Amino acid sequence: MTITPLHHVVLSVTDFERSLAFYRDALGFRKTMESPVVGYEKYLHIPEGSTGRMAMLAADDRLMGMVEIIEWEIPGEIETGPPKRAGDPGVQMLAMEVHDDSLEAIVERWAEMGIELFSPITPVELEGYPRFQTLVVEDPDGLLVELIQLPTQDEVKAFRAAQREKQAAEAK
């Protein structure tokens, strides 16, 4: 079996329009499809008569890495829990790499939109990898969304070459 990169992730949302606006306006996704959702009862083990409204959102022209949002109408009472946080089993965060923009510029735009950060721009240092920056925001339902500004491939290669040279000099 060959597995491709993640095709899409499905997010259950409490307010379709609010979530669509966040992923479109704050994160830059574009809606590629919208449809009613019917007939998923057996497939998803949900009560008969469950319906929904969905949209597929894409960051670019590829048919990979999309976000699908669904606002469900499920008969009866459904128990929901709080959003996942570090240490909770399950998906706690969506992480997306930012190109052609700075995290600082994004933070400024979000401030104008009234979007509060979950965490400030934070430098991250991992062993064997150049320093990079990240920030975290909550989507309208509290799902953590991380934006990452990674070094270029050339910067990673140069960093690792410098590390190898340093290790060789220390070994002498």
What are the tens digits of pLDDT across the range 15-36? 999 999 999 999 999 999 999 9
Residues 60 and 106 in one domain: no
Q: What is the CATH number of the domain that holds 56?
A: 3.10.180.10
The boundaries of the domain holding residue 24 are 1-76
Domain boundary among 76, 111, 128: 76
pTM: 0.88
Tokens of 18: 């609010």
Kindly tell me if the per-residue pLDDT of 172 is higher than 80. no
Residues 97 and 172 in one domain: yes
> Closest Cα to residue 73, out of 33, 31, 34, 41?
41
Q: How far is CA 68 from CA 19, 58, 91, 166, 170, in A?
A: 10, 9, 15, 46, 51
Give the mean model confidence (pLDDT) for residues 153-163: 92
pLDDT digits (tens, 9 = 90+) for 95-120: 999 988 999 999 999 999 999 999 99
Asked if the structure places residue 23 within a domain, the reply is yes
Residues 61 and 101 in one domain: no
CA distance 134 to 97: 9
The end-to-end CA distance of the chain, in Å, is: 46
What's the total number of domains in the chain?
Answer: 2
